[in-house]
Amino acid sequence: MGLTVTCVAMSDWRSFEERTIELTPGLNVLCGPNATGKTNTVEALQLLTAGTSFRHPRTTELVRDGADEGRAKARLEGDGRVIDVCCRAARGRRRTYERNGKPCRPADLSATLMSVLFCPDDLSLVKGSARARRDALDAFGAQASAGYRKVSKAYARAVEQRNRLLKEAHVDLGMLEAWDGAVALGGATLLHARMALFERLRTQIRRVYERVADEPLECVYDCSIGPDAAGLTRDELRDLILDAIAERRAEELRRGVTLVGPHRDDVSFSIGGRDARSFGSQGQQRSVALAWKMAEVAVARDVVGEQPLLLLDDVMSELDARRRAAVTEFVVGRIQTVITTANLQYFPPELLECAEVIDFGGC
Ligand SMILES: Nc1ncnc2c1ncn2[C@@H]1O[C@H](COP(=O)(O)OP(=O)(O)O)[C@@H](O)[C@H]1O
Ligand SMILES: [Mg+2]
């Protein structure tokens, strides 16, 4: 079964002076009215598993007003192991992480237990900019593999430095060529890993979408170096990127930015031949976002060999009965789930019977 979170404890963390919550290995429902700390708890769980959070908090925001240092801890248990993880946030300092009392990097936390989070903002996976989709792919890849994380960071740095050079008043062309090489190699490495990851996700996204919406969905990785990139080796990709860079040299110099590479790619969805972003109904778009997240769960399980922790923040109220049923079907599988809600009526009674309901005030 792998690891599950048995307990999360927060002190001087966000709105909590002190709060300890015991979790079951199955379904946990955090129930309470607005502003009672449900999302704060989900955020703590995400930081302790993914090493990042969808809220992108500044460290100071995590510290309870009036306190100096906030702490969130979780105990993970399973397969005869007990692992304690901790995140410390002190005002004006970088936050630090610990694993069994020893300092560690955020990447060590996701290597211990991955998590998948689904929240209403995830509609941006369909409606948002290309960047939202790329970032989602890379964030998932980074959690699933330390190698992916390194490659994606190194590439982002290379593009940033090359852009800085392109913006200079007099660009040193010899230097630019050196950066062409770095961007092409880093870009090819990332692209290769990202397309492989997307291919796994794509299969699952289509499968889940079809089950939820009863119609087929097409998903395509739109590659800025052309439609033929799929299936190429890393060296072939590097050569393609170098060619594309050479072709757009003048334009890049004029605009001062790197115009080719995986930082310009996108993912597109279409239903019945029409682009879901522009033509999909709200319901169809929600189903695509839901399918993406459920696909992440399935792929995490395949890649890492263990179930991730599933965090669902405030999603039930946004979904119609059919999509709620799909979520329900998913969470009754053997996966530890933490779900927040202001209203237990969104949950079928038979589901609540096997769930731990955690009271956040007047539920
Ligand atoms: N650093 C902080 N110190 C004190 N209160 C905070 C801090 N950060 C957030 N809060 C409070 O937490 C509450 C929001 O909690 P949240 O978990 O988002 O609520 P919900 O239960 O609706 O998900 C707000 O009232 C906000 O003012
Ligand atoms: Mg909330």
Q: Give me the DSSP letters along 49-105.
A: HTSS-TT---HHHHBPTT-SEEEEEEEEEETTEEEEEEEEEETTS--EEEETTEEE-
In sequence order, the 6+-apart residues with CB closer than 8 A to the CB of 360 are 30, 31, 32, 33, 36, 37, 38
Q: What stretches in the chain show pLDDT beneath 50?
A: none
Q: Is residue 119 domain-resident?
A: no
Q: Which residue has the tokens 């799909």?
A: 326
User: Looking at the structure, do residues 227 and 347 belong to the same domain, yes or no?
Assistant: no
Q: Is residue 294 domain-resident?
A: no
CB distance 138 to 198 below 8 Å: no
Q: Is residue 273 domain-resident?
A: yes
User: Looking at the structure, do residues 220 and 138 belong to the same domain, yes or no?
Assistant: yes
How many Å apart are CA 60 and CA 66, to the nearest integer?
11
Q: Is residue 353 domain-resident?
A: yes
Q: How far, CA to CA in Å, does 289 sit from each of 31, 63, 65?
A: 23, 31, 34
How many independent structural domains does the chain possess? Answer: 2
For residue 256, what is the domain's CATH number? 1.20.1050.90
User: Looking at the structure, do residues 228 and 174 belong to the same domain, yes or no?
Assistant: yes
For residue 42, what is the domain's CATH number? 3.40.50.300
pLDDT at position 332: 75
CB of 65 shorter than 6 A to ligand 1: yes
**Which residue, by CA, sits nearest to atom 9 of ligand 1?**
14
User: Looking at the structure, do residues 137 and 263 belong to the same domain, yes or no?
Assistant: yes
pLDDT at position 149: 95
What number does the ligand 1 atom closest to the CA of 67 have? 3
pLDDT at position 362: 74
Ligand nearest to the CA of 37: 1
Residues in the chain: 363
Q: Is residue 314 domain-resident?
A: yes
pLDDT at position 325: 85
- Write the pLDDT tens digit of every residue in 256-295: 999 999 999 999 999 999 999 999 999 999 999 999 999 9
Cβ count near 322 (within 10 Å): 12
- Write the pLDDT tens digit of every residue in 238-258: 999 999 999 999 999 999 999
User: Looking at the structure, do residues 162 and 188 belong to the same domain, yes or no?
Assistant: yes
CB of 39 shorter than 6 A to ligand 1: yes
> Ligand 2 centroid to 43 CA: how many Å?
10
pLDDT at position 318: 83
CB of 286 shorter than 6 A to ligand 1: no
Domain with 28 in it: 4-114+306-359
Query: Structure pTM?
Result: 0.94
User: Looking at the structure, do residues 128 and 110 belong to the same domain, yes or no?
Assistant: no
H or E segment and range at residue 22: strand 16-22
Q: Is residue 84 domain-resident?
A: yes
CB of 53 shorter than 6 A to ligand 1: no
pLDDT at position 130: 97
